[in-house]
Amino acid sequence: MAVQEGLTPAAADPPLAPHRLASGALGLPGVIFCIVTGAAPMTAMLFNVPVAVQGSGYGAPAAFLLATVALTVFSVGYIAMSRRVTSAGGFYTFVARGLGRIPGVGSGVLIALCYMLFSASVIGVMGYFAATSVESWTGARIPVWVYMFTALAVMTLLAWFHIELTTRILGVSLVLEVLALLILSVGVFVHGGAHGLSAAPMNPAEVFGNRGAAHVFGTAAAGVALFAAFWSWVGFEMAPNYAEESRDPHRIARAATYGSVIGLGVLYMIVSYAFVSGWGQTQSVQAVKDQFAGKYDSAFYPLAQTFVGHWLVVMMQVLAVVSPFACAMAFYNTGSRYLFSLAREGVAPAPLARTSRHHSPAAASMTVTVLVGLIVLGFTLYDSSTEGALLKLGTWAPLMGVLGILGVQALTSFAIIRYFLTTARDGFHWFTTLTAPLIGAAAMTGACYLLIDNRAVLAGDGKVPFIRYLPEAILLMFALGLAIAVWLRARRPERYARLGHFEHADPAPPPTVA
Q: How far apart are CA 222 and CA 212, in angstroms?
A: 13
Its pTM surpasses 0.75: yes
Whether residue 20 is predicted with pLDDT greater than 70 in this model: the reply is no
Per-residue pLDDT, 358: 62
Q: What is the pLDDT of residues 87-114, one digit of tens each?
A: 555 788 889 999 999 999 999 899 889 9
Q: For the purposes of burial, counting CB atoms within 10 Å of the CB of 376, is it exposed (0-12), middle (13-18) or buried (19 or more)?
A: buried
CB 356 within 8 A of CB 158: no
pLDDT band of residue 514 (cuts 50, 70, 90) is very low
Confidence of residue 2 (pLDDT cuts 50, 70, 90): very low
Q: Of 302, 267, 271, whose CA–CA distance to 288 is shortest?
A: 302
pLDDT at residue number 30: 58
**197 pLDDT band (50/70/90 cuts)?**
very high
CA distance 429 to 19: 35
User: What does pLDDT average to over the chain?
Assistant: 84
pLDDT band at 440 (very low <50, low <70, confident <90, very high): very high
Tell me what the mean pLDDT of segment 171-182 comes to.
86
Per-residue confidence (pLDDT) for residue 37, from 0 to 100: 56
Question: How big is the chain by its Cα radius of gyration, in Å?
Answer: 22
Residue 28 pLDDT grade (very low, low, confident, very high; cuts 50, 70, 90): low
Contact 188, 277 (CB under 8 A): yes
Span 365-394, pLDDT tens digits: 899 999 999 999 999 999 999 999 988 999
Has residue 299 got a pLDDT over 70? Answer: yes
- Greater model confidence, 251 or 487: 487
The DSSP symbol for 218 reads: S
Looking at the chain, the whole-number percentage of residues with pLDDT higher than 90 is: 49
Spatial neighbors of 464 by CB under 8 A, at least 6 apart, are: 396
Which segments of 40-100 does DSSP mark as H helices, in order?
Answer: 41-43, 49-56, 60-82, 91-99
C-alpha 336/C-alpha 158 separation (Å) is 13
CA end-to-end span of the chain:
9
Mean pLDDT value of segment 485-513: 70
Mean pLDDT for 489-513 is 66
Percentage with pLDDT > 70 across the chain: 82
Residue 189 has pLDDT above 70, yes or no: yes
Q: Give residue 29's pLDDT.
A: 61
- As a whole number, mean pLDDT of residues 114-128 equals 93
Q: Helix (H, G, I), strand (E, B), or coil: what is residue 89? A: coil
Phi (first) and psi of residue 506, to 5 degrees: -145, 105
pLDDT tens-digit map of 243-280:
555 555 556 667 777 888 888 899 999 999 999 999 99
Phi-psi map region of 203: left, alpha, beta (phi>0 left; psi -120 to 50 alpha): beta
Q: pLDDT category, 508, cuts 50, 70, 90?
A: very low
Q: Does 200 have pLDDT greater than 60? A: yes
Question: What's the average model confidence in pLDDT over 52-76?
Answer: 93
**What does the pLDDT average to over 49-74?**
93
Interval 223-248: pLDDT, tens? 889 999 998 887 676 655 555 555 55
All structural domains of the chain: 33-409+441-491 (1.20.1740.10)
Is the model's pLDDT at 23 over the cut of 90? no
Q: pLDDT tens digits, residue range 144-165? A: 999 999 999 988 888 776 555 5
Across residues 451-475, what is the average pLDDT?
A: 86
- pLDDT at residue 459 greater than cutoff 90: no
With vertex at residue 436, the alpha carbon angle to CA 435 and CA 439, rounded to the nearest 5 degrees, is 85
CA distances from 73 to 161, 346, 394, 418 (A): 36, 33, 28, 17
**Quick one: pLDDT at residue 27?**
55
The arithmetic mean of pLDDT across residues 5-16, rounded, is 37
Q: What does 109-162 look like in DSSP terms, one character per residue? A: HHHHHHHHHHHHHHHHHHHHHHHHHHHHHH-----HHHHHHHHHHHHHHHTTS-
- Higher local confidence (pLDDT), 35 or 454: 454
Tell me which residue of 317, 345, 335, 384 sits closest to 144, measured CA to CA.
384
Using CA atoms, how far apart are residues 460 and 458, in angstroms rounded to an integer?
Answer: 6
In 3-state terms the chain splits into helix, strand, coil percentages (rounded to 5) of: 75, 0, 25
Lowest mean pLDDT among 34-38, 54-58, 429-433: 34-38
Average pLDDT over residues 442-451: 91
Residue 418 has pLDDT above 80, yes or no: yes
Higher-pLDDT residue of 280 and 38 is 280
Confidence of residue 455 (pLDDT cuts 50, 70, 90): confident
CB 57 within 8 A of CB 212: yes
Long-range pairs, 480-484, Cβ under 8 A, ≥24: 480/106, 480/109, 481/105, 481/106, 481/107, 481/108, 481/109, 481/110, 481/347, 482/102, 482/103, 482/105, 482/106, 484/105, 484/109, 484/347
